[in-house]
Structure 1
Amino acid sequence: MIRCIIIEDQPPAQRVLQKYINDMGNMELLATFADALQAIDFLKAETVDLIFLDIHLPKISGIDFLKVLAEKPHIILTTAFPDYALESYEYDVVDYLLKPFSFERFVLAISKVKSPISQEVKGENQMENTALSDMIFIKSGYEHIKIDVADIFYIASDSDYTEISTAEKKYLSQEPLRFWEEQLDSKKFVRTHKSFILNISKIEKIIGNQVRLDDQTKIPIGRAFKERFMKHVLK
């Protein structure tokens, strides 16, 4: 369980983060603060793995807070302004979320939190990391639908969205193919074409410049991707 706090002065942004944290299932929100000074005493008394930290805050900015924070847990910065991105990485932050951000982008940021400070059992830590790699969330209207990664056959790019195909259903996502390429385990998923990523475990056969999956779907192999794909699959 990743123990976290939110330091954010805008109630709408607080509510978004609170919902996303609750939807994860492997995170515990300990407290929410409207300014960084309120959080200092709390951090002296409690062990926290992760802080969601806004940059533009009353009394003291998020960047100034980072400068004076003696023992730093993992930090994910949240802001509506991209100007601080470069400076923020000088303080070894985990990620930089530019508002408004999707739940998928939030999950990607959380997946970079490798070793929660409060976890003493290595096996528990491994289970947390595995949980993130075994599921993805697809935004559909006002809902976020959880999909088991093992059920995915392929992901295809189609202009402004990507289509995630499982045996039972196809889901549309506004995230680009590059996002899913970074999100999914590269040992299990591979790019075959500028428009396709597929699940290696679903391959039935490879015929020339084409892959046939267990559901009989035919996926092209692009010339620029073939050598890397074949080495990856046939190693």
Structure 2
Amino acid sequence: MLECVIVEDQPPAQRILSKFIGDHPGLSLKATFSDAVSLMDFMQKSKIDLIFLDIHLPKMSGLEFLKSQADHPPVILTTAFPDYALESYEYQVIDYLLKPFSADRFNQAVAKIAPASTRHVEEEKDERSIVIKSGHELIRMSLDDIVLIKSDADYTEIVGEDTKHLSGYPLRHWLETLDDSFCQVHKSFVVHLKHVRKVSHNKVQLSGAHTVPIGRVYKKAFMENMASLE
């Protein structure tokens, strides 16, 4: 778990970063500051593993902070201005996040400093189970208990027969990390093939009385995957 801090003077941006950090299994938010001077004071007495640093700050800019610190912790810059990207890499920043950025882009940046904790993003796989980071909870769930995964913008619902857990990662993440017992049947749905009970026209009936639509572009691959189970 990486102990990180936010240095950002805009409350909305602070809230977004706090949300993304809270949803990430490898990060723990230690403190939030509105200026880099306060961060420097904090660094004298506390260990920090990662800094999310805005560039335009009161008292001292983010780049001035980097110039003043010969040996600073890893930094991910967060800014609305693209002009400083090239200069920033002179100070060995990990990544340059241009506001507004998505949770997916945030996780890509974090993966550069914490590849071990983000190899499966929010999963710590144990044979046929995963650990889902849902809000401030870690929930272990067997892959065999997952009936379907539903997309909702940048979030997904991990659905069992009678359970639902909200995840902070998009559907694409699950398609890249889960095994081939899962298949996409619609732009918004991935199903566990072993939970399919009936395919009727353009509908899939699943365990737990769940029914989802089949998208035309996904139907052929889905039917082939179902046939392979016979």
For the aligned pair, the TM-score class normalised by the smaller chain equals: 0.5 to 0.7
Q: Report how many residues are paired.
A: 214
Q: Which residue of 2 aligns with 1:84?
A: 82
Q: 1:211 to 1:181 in 2, by over 3 A?
A: same
Amino acid of the structure 1 residue aligned with 2:134: F
Instruction: Indicate whether 1:98 and 2:110 are aligned.
Output: no
Q: Is the 8 A contact 1:116 1:125 kept in 2?
A: no
Amino acid of the structure 2 residue aligned with 1:53: L
What value does the CA root-mean-square deviation take over the aligned residues?
5.2
Q: 1:227 to 1:172 in 2, by over 3 A?
A: same
Q: 1:146 to 1:37 in 2, by over 3 A?
A: same
SS of equivalent residue, structure 1 residue 134: strand
Amino acid of the structure 2 residue aligned with 1:166: G
Equivalent residues in 2 for 1:110-149, closer than 5 Å = 110=107, 113-114=110-111, 130-131=123-124, 134-137=131-134
Cα deviation for residue 58 of structure 1 reads 1.3
Q: 1:44 to 1:204 in 2, by over 3 A?
A: farther
Q: 1:38 to 1:170 in 2, by over 3 A?
A: closer
Cα deviation for residue 128 of structure 1 reads 8.5
Q: Which residue of 1 aligns with 2:59?
A: 59
- Write the distance in 1 (CA, Å) between the matches of 2:193 and 2:110: 26
Q: Is the 8 A contact 2:94 2:112 kept in 1?
A: no
Unpaired segments ≥5 residues, structure 2: none
TM-score by length of 2: 0.57
Equivalent residues in 2 for 1:202-213, closer than 5 Å = 202-203=195-196, 211-213=204-206
Kindly name which structure, 1 or 2, has the bigger radius of gyration based on alpha carbons.
2
Q: 1:147 to 1:230 in 2, by over 3 A?
A: farther
Amino acid of the structure 2 residue aligned with 1:182: R
Amino acid of the structure 2 residue aligned with 1:57: L
After superposing the two structures, state which structure 1 stretch, 200-209 or 46-55, moved more: 200-209
TM-score by length of 1: 0.56
Equivalent residues in 2 for 1:188-199, closer than 5 Å = 188=178, 189-199=182-192
